[in-house]
Amino acid sequence: MPALEFRSVDARFRVLVPGATVRRLLHLCRSSGRRETGGILVGRYSAGLDCARVGAASGPPKDSVRGPSSFQRGMKGLQAWLERRWASRGDHYLGEWHFHPYAPPVPSDTDLQQLGRIARTADYRCPEPILLIVGGDPAGKWSVSVHIVPSGQPAVPLQRLQDPAEPG
């Protein structure tokens, strides 16, 4: 599976999701059936700080609450997972992801408000969190949306670029 690359219209923000991470996201979505699921995204920023490179996506923590049209991400086990990713790869928290089963990947007001709170919360150390949503049928026709939510600013939708080059 090829990598997915997204960029804001003004080219200020870019997000690269490697093919292996896309496969993992689709697997987690298929496993969830008709219930929403989600987790967090970790990775690194480019030297110019203009591109977030997603290194991995967590699955839903065990204490998450999942329904057909709602998802509340839990916390159980996330801190240990983040610490392992930091120690082994230097990955940082980049943002959140979730699945809209058999629906478009359009963020709700609640999604955007949550990311706005994350952007303003010093503990996350992430002033511009990513919101990635997988929508549709993960075993068939699916799509992905990506937004950046800068602290104190409206969400910035990113457009998918065609056939990005995956970094080495």
Which residues are catalytic, by number? 36
89-111: b or e for each residue (b if 16 or more CB lie within 10 Å)?
Answer: eebbbbbbbbbbbeeebebeeeb
Q: Which helix (H) or strand (E) holds 80?
A: helix 78-89
Q: Which helix (H) or strand (E) holds 90?
A: none
DSSP letter at 33?
A: T
Q: Which two tokens stand for residue 1?
A: 């599976």
- Rounded to whole angstroms, the Cα distance separating 91 from 87 reads 8
25-48: b or e for each residue (b if 16 or more CB lie within 10 Å)?
Answer: bbebbeebeebbbbbbbbbeeeee
- Rounded to whole angstroms, the Cα distance separating 85 from 79 reads 10
